[in-house]
Chain A
Amino acid sequence: MTVDKYLYQKISFFLINFMLVIGFTGVFLSLSGVSIFIEWFLGGSSMNFSLIFLFDSISCFFLSVVLCISANVVWYSKSYMATDPNANRFILLVVGFITSMAILIISPNILSILLGWDGLGLISYGLVIYYPSSKSSSAGMITVLSNRVGDVCILLSIGWFMSVGDFNFSIWALLSNTDFSIWVSFLVMLAAMTKSAQIPFSAWLPAAMAAPTPVSALVHSSTLVTAGVYLLIRFSFILGESCSAFLMFISIMTMFMSGVVAIFEYDFKKIIALSTLSQLGMMMFAISLGLFEVAFFHLLTHALFKALLFLCAGILIHGVGNTQDIRSFGSLSLNFPLVTVCMNLANLSLCGVPFLAGFYSKDLIVELACQYSWGIFILLMMFVCLSLTVLYSVRLTYLSFVSAYGGGSLVSVCETDYSLLAPVVILSFTSLMSGPVLSWLSFSCPTLIFLPTFLKWGALFFVVSSVVIMVSLQRLVYFYMWGTVKKFSGLMWFLPWLTGQWLTLNTLKNADQFLKIYDQGWLEFYSSKGISMGANSMSLFSLKFQHNSLKIHFLVFLVWLFMCLIYIL
C-alpha cells in the first residue's frame, strides 16, 4: 500500500518533465557545440575543492534517455508492483537509483563519479535482493561483489589522479601531453569491465535477473550496465594501443559467449540479459576500435529498445502466471497483439533490420569495423556474433509467439491493463524514432563507408541466413544433439561457478588457516599476549626483591655500591 494514491504517476510525470528540459538542452548544446560547467567552489585559502557538473551534449542526451526509460518504468511498476507489500521500499530504491545515475552522468570529476558509481552498485544490490528468497540473496551477493571490484579500481585511479593534479578529467582530455601511465587506463578499463559485465565478471548479469522486471528494465538493460561504457567514453583520451587490443579481445569473447549461451537458455529474462550482454560486448568492441561517438549512439538506442523488450517480457511473464520458463510460453501472439508488435519491433531492431533503430547504430559499427578492422579473425567473429544475435532473437520470438502453447491452463492471458501497456507503446514509439533522430543529432554529416561488395552485403546476408537457420531448426530438426555443448553453454561456460563457488571455497580454506593458526595463534603469542606475559614476568621478577627483609635490601644497596666502586677504580 503506497503512501499516496498517485505517487507513481507523480514521479513519472516529474521525470518526463525533467527529461524534456534536459532533452531540449541537449539538442541546443549539440547544435551550438557549447558545454556548460556548473561549479560550486568550496573552501578558502588553503584548501580548494570544487563540485562541478558538466552539461555536455553527450551527458544531456544520455540523461534524457535514462529519464525517459525511468519515467516509463515507474509508470509500469505502478501496476506491476501493485500487489507487492513492500512497494514503498521499491520506489525509494528506484528513485535513489535514478539519482545516482544522474550524478554519474553529469560529473566530469572522478570523485563524484565514484559517488554515483558506488550508489549504483549499492542500490542495484538492494533492488536485486528485493524478493526474500535465497536465489535473490546469492544473486545480489554476486552482483554487489563484482561491482565492488570495479569500485576498487576507481578508488585506485582516484589516487593516481591525485598525484597527477586534478580530479576533473575533462581537462586532461584537452591536453595532448598527459603523463598517465598504462596502469590508469588498465584500472579504468577494468572498472568498466566489471560494471558492464565483460568476460571475467559476466557472472552477475544473468544472475541479477532475480530482481523484479521493472528493475531489470531500468537497471540491467540500460543504466547500470551502460555506466561502464559511459566511463570509457568519458575516458577516451586515456585508452592506448595495448588497452584497446585487450578490450577488443575481451569484448569479442563476451559477445561470442553470450550469444552461444543464449541459444541454449530456457529462462526468458536470462535470454534477454544475455542479449544485453552481447550488445554490451558490441559497444565495448566499438570503443576498442576507437569509435567513441558511435558506441555512445549504440548505447542510447540499445537502452531504449532493451527497456522495451524487458517491459514486454514483464507483461508476458505476468500473463502466463509468473513463470519465467520459456517452455510454458507459446502462441501468445493470439492474446497479446500489441505486445507482440512492440516486442517484435524491439527484437528486429536488435537484429539490425534496416531502418529500425538498431540498424542505424549497430550496422554503422559493423561497417566501420570492416573498414578499421584489425584482422580477419576479428571480422569473422563479429559476423558470427551478429548471426548469433539473430539466432537467439528469432528463437525467442518463435518460442513465445509462434510455437504451440506449453503452459498451464488457469492463467489470464490478456492485455487490458493500460498502465502496463502505455509505457510499452510510448517506448516503442520512442525507440522507433530514436534511431534516425539521434543519428541526425549526433553526427553532423553522414559517415563515408567504402567497402567491397561482399562485406557490404555481409551483415544482411548473415542476418537473413540466421533467420532461416533458426526457423528451420525449430520446425524441422529437434535440438537433441550437442549434449556437451548444451551443458557447457547452459552453465554459462562455468563462469559463475569459477568466480563464485570455486573461488570462495579455496579462499575460505586459506582464510580459515590464516585466522586460526596465524591471527588467533602465533600472532597473539608473539605480539599482544606475549608482550603482556613478558611484562608480567618482569614485574614478578622484580617483586622477588620485595620480600620483607631489610637485610636483603641493604645487601642490594651495598652490592651496587661495590659494583660502582669497582667500575670507577
Chain B
Amino acid sequence: MWLSPSLLLMIISIVTSICLVISSPSLFISWIGLELNTLAFLPLLLSKKSKLASEASIKYFLTQTLASVLILVGGLWFLAPWGGLATLTLLLGLSIKLGAAPFHSWVLSIAEASGWVPLFALLTIQKINPLLMLWMFCHLSMPFFYVVVLSSLIMGGLAGLTQTSVRSILTFSSINHVGWLMTALSFSLSVGAYYFLIYLTTLLCSILIFHMFNVSHINQLPLLSFKPSNQMLLFFALLSLGGLPPFLGFLPKWMILQLTVSYSLLLVGGVMISMSLVVLFFYLRLMFSAFMMGGVNLTTLSSDPLPFPVYFVALFSITGGGLSMIYFL
C-alpha cells in the first residue's frame, strides 16, 4: 500500500520538505518546507479511510496551520526590531508543531484515530522539521525554552499515568522524549541527531510489535501469544524505549544527562531523571498485565504473528547491534 503512486508521492514530498528545511538559507523557505510537510502528511493520515481518520486529519491540518502562522509571524518580527518577541513566537509555533507541552493537547486525539504507520510518522518524522528549525533559531538562553522543556518532561510523565490505550501511552512517552530532544538539540546538532536516530529505532521496534499483534489497549495485552520469546521481545523493546541500561535506549540519555550536569543545568537533569522513572513505570505496567495472564497458546509455528525480519529490527533496536560494548571501553 505504501508503494502505491499516491502515497509514494506523499512520502517523497515529506522527504523533500526535510531537504528544504535543512538546506534553506532563510526562514521563509523553511516555512515553505514546513507547509509542504503538513500537506503531504495529510493523505498518510487518511490512508485508513474511516470517519475518525478524516476528523483526525482536519484537526491535524488546523493545528499545524496555526503553528505555521505563528512561525511566519515570528519570522516577520525579526525584520522589525523585536528580537526577543520574535524568538518567543517562533518557539511557540515550533512547540505547537512538535507537540511539546504545554501545547500537546492536539496529539492525543490524532494519535488515537490513526493507524500504526501514520502514528509512527507522526511521532518521529514529523518532528524532524520543527527540531531542525529549533536548532537553527532558538537557544537555551531563553527562559521560555526551559518552560517548554520542563513541562514536556513532566506532562509526558505524569499525564501518561492514567492512560490505558497503548497509543496514548506512546504519545505521552513521545512528549517526554521531546523534552529530552530539545535539550539535546540545544547542546549541539550531532547530539540531537544521535538522540533522534536512536529514539526512532527504539520506537520503530515497539510500534512494529504492537502493529503485528494488533494491540491497541491494555486489556488486549494478556492475549498476546504464549511464546515467551514474543513477550520478551516486547518487554525489552519497551524497556529500551524507556531508557533502561543495558539496552540501546540508555546511551543517548546517558550522554544528555552528562552534558546537562557538566553545563550545570541541574534542575533539568533532576526532572529528567525523575520523570524517566515515571515513564518507565507505565511501560512496565503494560507488560505486567501481559506477563500475568500468560496469553493465548499458539500451537502451530505458521500462525506466529511475528514475521522473521522483526527479529532483526529488534536486534538492532534493543541491543544496538552490540553497541552495548561501549560500556566496556
Q: In the complex, which of the residues A536, A542, A561, A564 has the most CB atoms of chain B within 10 Å of its own CB atom? A: A542
Task: Knowing A550-B63, A554-B66, A557-B96, say if A539 contacts B162 (CB, 8 Å).
Answer: yes
Provide the residues of chain B in CB contact with A542, threshold 8 Å: 155, 158-159
A565 proximity list for chain B (CB < 8 A): 85, 88
C-beta contact mask, A520-549 vs B, less than 8 Å → 1, else 0?
000000000000000110111011011010
Residue B108 interfacial (CB < 8 Å): yes
Asked whether A539 lies within 8 Å of B105 as measured between CB atoms, the reply is no
- Across the interface, do A556 and B102 meet the contact criterion of CB distance under 8 Å? yes
Interface bin, chain A: 20 to 34
Main secondary structure, interface of B, reads: helix
- Given A539-B159, A539-B161, A560-B92: A553 in contact with B105 (beta carbons within 8 A): yes
Q: Report chain B residues within 8 Å CB of A543.
A: 159, 162
**Min CB–CB distance B12 → chain A (angstroms):** 30
* A249→B105 CA distance, assembly (Å): 79
Taking A556-B102, A561-B89 as given, write out 20 further A-B residue pairs in contact, using a Cβ cutoff of 8 Å, ordered by the A residue number. Answer: A535-B278, A538-B158, A538-B159, A538-B161, A539-B158, A539-B160, A543-B159, A543-B162, A550-B63, A552-B105, A553-B105, A554-B63, A556-B103, A557-B66, A557-B96, A560-B92, A560-B102, A560-B103, A561-B70, A568-B85
Q: Which residues of A contact B162 (CB under 8 A)?
A: 536, 539-540, 543
**Bound: A31/B144 CA distance, A:** 88
Is the CB of B109 closer than 8 A to any CB of chain A?
yes
Interface membership of B211, Cβ < 8 A = no
> Interface readout for A36-63 with B: 1 if CB under 8 Å, 0 if not?
0000000000000000000000000000
Interface on B for A, CB 8 Å cutoff?
A: 59, 62-63, 66, 70, 84-85, 88-89, 92, 96, 102-103, 105-106, 108-109, 144, 155, 158-163, 278
What is the CA–CA distance of A462 and B59 in the complex, to the nearest angstrom? 108
In the complex, which residues of chain A have a beta carbon less than 8 angstroms from the beta carbon of B163? 539
User: Which residues does chain A contribute within 8 Å of B63, judged by CB atoms?
Assistant: 550, 553-554
Given contacts A535-B161, A539-B162, A542-B159, contact A556 B105 (CB under 8 A): yes
B106-A550 in contact (CB<8A): yes
19 pairs from A and B in contact (CB 8 Å cutoff): A539-B158, A539-B163, A542-B159, A545-B105, A546-B109, A548-B109, A553-B105, A554-B62, A556-B105, A557-B66, A557-B96, A557-B103, A560-B92, A560-B102, A560-B103, A561-B70, A565-B85, A568-B85, A568-B88
Looking at the complex, which one of B66, B88, B109, B161 makes contact with A564 (CB distance below 8 Å)? B88
Q: How far is the CA of A550 from the CA of B163 in the complex (A)?
A: 20
B residues less than 8 Å from A538 (CB atoms)? 158-159, 161
Distance in angstroms between the alpha carbons of A550 and B84 in the assembled complex: 29
Question: How many whole Å from B61's CB to the nearest CB in chain A?
Answer: 10
Contact B59 A550 (CB under 8 A): yes
